Structure 1
Amino acid sequence: MKTAPIANPASPFQPSKGPAHKVVYTYRDKIAFVFVTLIALIVRLYKINFPPSVVFDEVHFGGFARKYILGRYFLDVHPPLAKMLFALIAKLGNLDEDFDFHEIGLSYLDKHVPYVAMRLYPGLLGVAVVSLAFLTLRNYNCSTLGATVGALLVCFENGLITQSRLILLDSPLIFGTAFTAWAWSSFETQNIFSFKWYLMLAVTGLGLGITASIKWVGLFTIAWIGVLTIYQLWRILGDLSVTPRTFVRHFSARVLFLILLPLSFYIGMFAIHFALLPIAADGAGFMSSRFQANMPGARNNEIPLKVALGSTITIRHVGTQGGYLHSHDHQYVGGSEQHQVTLYPHKDENNYWLVENGTIGADIDYATVPISYVTHGEVIRLKHVVTKRRLHSHDVRPSSDTDWLNEVSAYGYDGFEGDSNDLFRIEIVENTDPNTVVTAINSKIRLIHVGSGCQLFSRNYKLPDWGFGQQEVTCTNQGVFKNTVWYIEHNEHPLLDVYDEKVELVKYAPMSLLEKVIELNKVMWTTNAGLTASHPYMSRPSSWPILKRGINFWGHHKRHIYLLGNPLIWWTSTAAVAIYVVVKLFSVLRWQRSYDDYLKPSVQDYDHYLGSTFTAWALHYFPFFLMGRQLFLHHYLPALYFAILAIVLTIDIYAGAMPYNKFLRETIFVTFLLFSLVAFYRYSRITYGTEWTQSECNNAKILDTWDFNCALYPNSYEEYATVADPFAKPTITEATETEETEEAKVPEEEGEVSTEFIQVESEEEKKEPANEEEPTEEDLDSSIQTVYRTEADGQVKAYRKVYKDAKGNVIPPEKFAEIKNKVSVREPDPNF
């Protein structure tokens, strides 16, 4: 029946005024909450000790935990909270400090590594996410059944399970996001200015601080709460019944708890981070010299202020994190083939240069001549202290083969007088007075090549392996200004004694905590933006909602861990978001025609709760389109959490508005949950790394782009029974026995090895790339040679050549290489 238009309809962009309901948890709610929590404990923690080896980015985050224990400063692109908690657990578990997590597949059983305890931390947070989903949906006025089903959908989402079982940051991040969403939904149900209203507002701010302190994706959560807060304040401001004093109370409370509290928490986490890392290790090289000088374990020594001819100096680049002007006894490959000049981020003896005058001639002993300070515009030469070669530039293209750059090299030898291409004019930035003396630390300088007029320049371009991955240094007239700016960090001279009261000295000024946090965050931002290299499992945001492909985490011994979502839950969540957009557009059109839909409480609830959830999904998803760095499917998981909530809200609201609504709603919920359980079970083998067969694996590939490696699995489950536990830690005796047994199995001279070609059945087996981190079963057990043959039907089929012993067992390639000279090999029929 058509609804009659009204004169002044409610706005379709206004949520219900004040809390739409008060949440009262019944006995049934409590039973449901305990139930979903227990189920989540089982699902998240099942076989969490498997595999007992380093998986995917456990390389990084386990390694960071170790560095916290050692106190060695490191640089990471993520804030420190979750990493520090990993370190705390590792410390309490007595982590063997010799274990460095340096490669995927490295066994945890070889050293004392509390990897199970470290994995339990994200695992239990994954359990908490399920519980928080239930509480949030109840705050959204969902039925108990709807909240239970929603929590179980989060529980049985395979991608969320995989990510919460390993030493990774995403489970803590999603927990922080879910915690904040629950706190905000609880805040909305409280009476204004009551104690619980203030408490839940503060808890929301705490959640924002936690989330942002784990990963910068937490900034999207801050943006979401910020949008909702601004909208709330806008509506309050437009309410004529609200006095200015009341509005100020609203505004002040939100500034205190949603801005100052999370910001203070965020800075506090970095304060702890700095205190735990007093030793200036490799990561300190990315920080400014002033930052390094203010590290807890550093000495901020005074050095002579003025730079003179005969000073030994180090020169640091301002525009990038490349580090110090550096040379070493290695030549360029191509170009002039002269010695390399690079940027090197760490303190090193090859960073030292002697300042010489601009007169080409014999070496001068500057300790025996009157001191002469270097001034703005003076022509100098820079002689490398270790190799005795001078900084040099000429009209030769550098290794990057860029037309607008000239090569910079180190040229000459000890005793060589040099040539005109060694001359550089030193200029102080923003200075015109030729009498101004160049000073260490304070002066920002440019080095202008006298012969060509180009400026010494560097950018974020790394040399190939022959240049040790160090940053290229060139000379140009067209470079970005900041990349031509340098400063002198170290300065010493035989006539400038630091203990002489007449010598002016300088040292780095102290840094406040806030200054340290700002600098580190700038470096983190720059480093994060620079992660643009290709990765075999990277993906773009446009592919995430359709689950186009996953991520290979680990593969070994006929088992595989591959990050892939539950396709039914994943695709339905995308549909739920799309449905909201369509319904919203349709409702706006009806509102413009003066229909009264938005006067109905059910529509107001739908628009408020689902609208808030959609906003959260959008703000956790669309910003990734603006990023040029490496992105992976797991970056979508926080947005997925809100999309799953949208499924439940959509069913709860739409089914509740239909005839026989209770029966229909319960039927839909239960049916959808059962099908989701089936999908979860089907893909649980790549979630937990358990046993599977090739045929089942191939049948599970709904999309051709799902590139988990089915060739890794055997043809039947019986083959697992014949394989010893690949992760059992042998005793010394067992290891000796195994070696003797293997040696005894080597065929004697008269033995025979047969060969045959086996057809490759699936496209994945034909073209699946081997795991970059470690060899797959395909590499170890069967793949000696692959040939292609055109069959009678015109199809090209692939066949793999394998070697077998007398019992028909496949001989691994490396073992065959050892015995091939001791056995006779019966080649296969050429007409196979």
Structure 2
Amino acid sequence: MASEFRARGAKQASPPATLPPPQYQSRYPPRDHHLDADERKALAQPGSLKQSQHAFGGLRLASSEWKLLAGIVVLALCVRLYHLGWPASVVFDEVHFGKFAGKYIHGRYYVDVHPPLAKLLITFMAVLGGFNGEFDFKEIGLPYPSDVPYVLMRSLPALMGVGVVPLAYLTLRGLDCRPATALLGSLFITFENGLITQSRLILLDSPLIFFTALTVFCWVGFSNENHQEPFTEDWWLWLALTGLSLGAVASCKWVGLFTIATIGVATMKQLWDLLGDLKVPPRVWMKHFLARALCLIVLPITVYMAVFEIHFMVLQNSGDGDGFMSAQFQQSLKGKGMHDTWADISLGSEITLRHVNTQGGYLHSHEHNYPTGSNQQQITLYPHKDGNNNWRILAGHSEGQPDHDFATEPIKWVSNLMSIRFEHISTKRRLHSHDVRPPVSDVDFQNEVSAYGFPGFVGDANDNWIVEIEYGDSHDKHSSGRLRTLGTVFRLRHALQGCYLFSHKVKLPEWGFEQQEVTCNKNAVKANSLWYIETNEHPQLGENDEKVNYRRPSFLSRFLELNHVMWTTNAGLTDRHAFDSRPESWLTLKRGINFWVRDHRHVYLIGNPVIWWLSTAAVVTYLLARGLLVLRAKRQYKDLNNSFIVKYDQICGFLTIGWFIHYFPFFIMSRQLFLHHYFPALYFAILLTAAIFDLATSSFKPKIRLQVAGVLIVAAVWTWWHFSPLTYAGEWTRGKCDAAKWRKTWDFSW
């Protein structure tokens, strides 16, 4: 029986939730227009399904369908929770996302390319299970000890994967598709092997897809309410729920921004149609605009920022992510705080010198020489505090002039364009450059920088550096005229070579302990040749002299900085991986990802080929059909005057836009990509498959329609079972393994 979502208390049926223009609304027949005569007669009888509907958050669904949906959910629970504790060892990216739970538990700061929400939810499950955070998840295949509640941690993604199934059913019903269609779509989600595999492990994709599905469902609910009567309590509820879901999906992974874009396109379509409706006054249109701006822009941003505030509140201690952040950010972490230090820099000051760019490492030297070039002592950039970061500022070298006694001579501030030298405290060698190419960046516009000298040698002119102040702190009026601790940003120009002290993200080989390279660059990018002084000691400065310290950064500055670091780190993931793939291969399921192997058992991420290829065919079918409609409209055919065609064009168009926005941006990304990046787009493609099934079987009798759906479901279930050893790391023989290779590019082996 074809009962439907219907707004509570509605007096007449609403058009589908696929955002038809207002001028089309009068052309829509009642929502049960697709029923045959027997169905209409049955619905008219007392006690029919239509008369026994139960409300669900402002929409109504027949009681028999609730029972059907409950059965589907139980089936999804069995499929996703089956043998959840196996493999009993670390699988694929559990290496990362399990480890982050330990960092949250200990409050140790880390940096990851994904926002925190899904990781916080997994950590919550770990805490419920009594995890102490000591297990390090350091490598794939590492067995889980008994005190790690990994099954409970896996249960969160698994349950969220289960949640996608009823959301798919309800979304299709909200789009005015038949129950058989919703059944088909939800069971396709249930038995999609790739979605099952991702939802059974400590990974972020299952929460991402859950919130994507929740967002689409809430938007459909809102659109139904919007077509009935705007600005009601239910209208505001569905709109606010959509905004909350958008905030959640963006807080799991940045792929959620594509979901925001999808709803954004649908919102602009709604507002554009309202603008063309002369029955809507400008004041009412502005009210629609402001309501959507509040709930779909302000509310998601608030949720996203709130998640990061929780992230910062939990991670208060210094950790292995410190080196990615600015010095100001690091000082806000426990264990990284710095004592107040003298403000004025003078000759004789003992200082630490920090690079402004590349996460602000310290100018560093140690008693190891370059293996080539001058073979003099190495100069590097080092991200951690260390005694080898300490330097003393001396006056520029002049022939025959001995060094000064800074403990007794009058203080002389270091000012702009002054010639100075830097003496390494622990090794007594001076910061030096000469016309020798560096061992790594071996180009003619870069010179080697070394530490040079020996006892009794006062140095030479190659030790001289000219201070060039770039800018000072607006809160410190003296910092733009002379060097001031923390306040003055400056460059150091070599007096003889004319090059600038420079560092970049190039790392030295093992002989340089993989520390960052420092050179003297004649064509230096300014951002990479800027420095500032972090700490300052001088024998003549006392308690009455001015001291400074880092200002604690605000939440907003930390939030913006971390998101910038996430963006640059994410963009930098360009290294190849054995199982990476490009977007053009995803549509045909060219290859999967080997997650785990042991004793001829595999966890291999591969989609259900029947479901996957049907979804790709559905996308192609709609695009061809839409192209045909455009050509026919050019020839003056009036297809879009037909309410039946308009309905399915709107449904399929909305879902195809969602698929497109979640898929095509990956073509412009140079970063490392995997098959699982396609999963949000796959969700839209599966819903589109169901919608096209609804259209293709619209003239069938319910029994025939259900039989056709049954054939497709049986094919999907059989294929799921055929590939289940890859999904659940089950036992199989060499023959079964070879038989499962439907494509030569599927690179799993017995």
Task: Give the distance between the partners of 2:176 and 2:480, measured in 1 at CA.
Answer: 76
Does structure 1 retain, via aligned residues, the 8 Å contact 2:469–2:489?
A: yes
1:36 aligns with 2:76: no
SS in 2 for 1:321: helix
1:512 aligns with 2:554: yes
Task: Give the distance between the partners of 2:444 and 2:606, measured in 1 at CA.
Answer: 46
Gaps of 5+ in 1: 1-12, 711-832
Cα deviation for residue 402 of structure 1 reads 3.5
Summarize the Cα distance change of 1:465–1:583 in structure 2 as closer, same or farther, 3 Å threshold. farther
Pick the aligned partner of 1:544 from 586, 601, 606.
586
Letter in 2 for 1:446: R
Partner of 1:406: 447
Partner of 2:464: 423
1:273 aligns with 2:311: yes
SS in 1 for 2:353: strand
Partner of 1:264: 302
Partner of 1:148: 183
Task: Give the distance between the partners of 1:368 and 1:239, measured in 2 at CA.
Answer: 85
Cα deviation for residue 415 of structure 1 reads 4.4
1:130 aligns with 2:165: yes
Cα deviation for residue 540 of structure 1 reads 1.5
357-366 vs 78-87, greater mean Cα deviation? 357-366
Cα deviation for residue 364 of structure 1 reads 4.0
Cα deviation for residue 174 of structure 1 reads 0.8
Task: Give the distance between the partners of 1:668 and 1:63, measured in 2 at CA.
Answer: 47
Alignment of 1:570-719 (within 5 A): 570-656=612-698, 658=699, 660=700, 662=702, 665-710=705-750
Partner of 2:141: 105
Partner of 2:224: 189
The CA deviation string for residues 269-305 of structure 1, in whole angstroms up to 9 with x for no partner, is 1111111111122212221111222336654533222
Does structure 2 retain, via aligned residues, the 8 Å contact 1:550–1:562?
A: yes
Partner of 1:465: 510
Letter in 2 for 1:73: Y
Partner of 2:50: none
SS in 2 for 1:496: coil
1:199 aligns with 2:240: no
SS in 1 for 2:61: coil
Tell me the number of residue pairs that the alignment of Structure 1 and Structure 2 aligns. 691
1:557 aligns with 2:592: no
Task: Give the distance between the partners of 1:414 and 1:524, measured in 2 at CA.
Answer: 47
Partner of 1:761: none
Summarize the Cα distance change of 1:404–1:160 in structure 2 as closer, same or farther, 3 Å threshold. farther
Task: Give the distance between the partners of 1:668 and 1:483, measured in 2 at CA.
Answer: 65
Partner of 2:42: none
Cα deviation for residue 430 of structure 1 reads 5.2
Cα deviation for residue 370 of structure 1 reads 1.6
Pick the aligned partner of 2:119 from 83, 106, 112.
83
Pick the aligned partner of 2:483 from 388, 413, 438.
438
Letter in 2 for 1:402: V
1:15 aligns with 2:29: no
Cα deviation for residue 645 of structure 1 reads 0.9
Partner of 1:753: none
TM-score normalized with structure 1 length: 0.80
Does structure 1 retain, via aligned residues, the 8 Å contact 2:326–2:360?
A: no
Task: Give the distance between the partners of 2:213 and 2:537, measured in 1 at CA.
Answer: 56
692-701 vs 265-274, greater mean Cα deviation? 692-701
Does structure 1 retain, via aligned residues, the 8 Å contact 2:471–2:490?
A: no
- Let me know the Cα RMSD of the aligned residues: 2.1
Letter in 2 for 1:480: V
Summarize the Cα distance change of 1:359–1:219 in structure 2 as closer, same or farther, 3 Å threshold. same
Cα deviation for residue 609 of structure 1 reads 1.5
Letter in 2 for 1:423: N
Does structure 1 retain, via aligned residues, the 8 Å contact 2:246–2:256?
A: yes
Does structure 2 retain, via aligned residues, the 8 Å contact 1:282–1:346?
A: no
Cα deviation for residue 119 of structure 1 reads 0.4
Does structure 1 retain, via aligned residues, the 8 Å contact 2:19–2:270?
A: no
Summarize the Cα distance change of 1:435–1:626 in structure 2 as closer, same or farther, 3 Å threshold. closer
Alignment of 1:221-236 (within 5 A): 221-236=259-274
Does structure 2 retain, via aligned residues, the 8 Å contact 1:206–1:265?
A: yes
Summarize the Cα distance change of 1:314–1:661 in structure 2 as closer, same or farther, 3 Å threshold. farther
Does structure 2 retain, via aligned residues, the 8 Å contact 1:15–1:607?
A: no
Task: Give the distance between the partners of 1:93 and 1:14, measured in 2 at CA.
Answer: 45
Does structure 1 retain, via aligned residues, the 8 Å contact 2:92–2:596?
A: yes
Does structure 1 retain, via aligned residues, the 8 Å contact 2:397–2:461?
A: no
Partner of 1:725: none
The CA deviation string for residues 197-219 of structure 1, in whole angstroms up to 9 with x for no partner, is 11010000000110111111111
Alignment of 1:666-815 (within 5 A): 666-710=706-750
Partner of 1:476: 521
1:168 aligns with 2:203: yes
The CA deviation string for residues 701-731 of structure 1, in whole angstroms up to 9 with x for no partner, is 1222211132xxxxxxxxxxxxxxxxxxxxx
Does structure 2 retain, via aligned residues, the 8 Å contact 1:16–1:608?
A: no
Partner of 1:741: none
Task: Give the distance between the partners of 1:268 and 1:577, measured in 2 at CA.
Answer: 37
SS in 2 for 1:343: strand
The CA deviation string for residues 685-713 of structure 1, in whole angstroms up to 9 with x for no partner, is 11111101122112221222211132xxx
Partner of 2:285: 247
Summarize the Cα distance change of 1:538–1:328 in structure 2 as closer, same or farther, 3 Å threshold. farther
Partner of 1:114: 149
Letter in 2 for 1:417: V
Partner of 1:533: 575
Partner of 2:386: 348
Partner of 2:420: 380
Summarize the Cα distance change of 1:530–1:413 in structure 2 as closer, same or farther, 3 Å threshold. farther
Summarize the Cα distance change of 1:371–1:251 in structure 2 as closer, same or farther, 3 Å threshold. same
Gaps of 5+ in 2: 1-17, 32-58, 473-477
The CA deviation string for residues 92-151 of structure 1, in whole angstroms up to 9 with x for no partner, is 212133311112111112x51010100001000000011111111111111111111111
Q: Percent of counterpart pairs with the same letter?
A: 51
The CA deviation string for residues 73-107 of structure 1, in whole angstroms up to 9 with x for no partner, is 11111111111122222122121333111121111
Cα deviation for residue 635 of structure 1 reads 1.0
Letter in 2 for 1:476: N
SS in 2 for 1:620: helix
TM-score normalized with structure 2 length: 0.88
Cα deviation for residue 14 of structure 1 reads 7.5
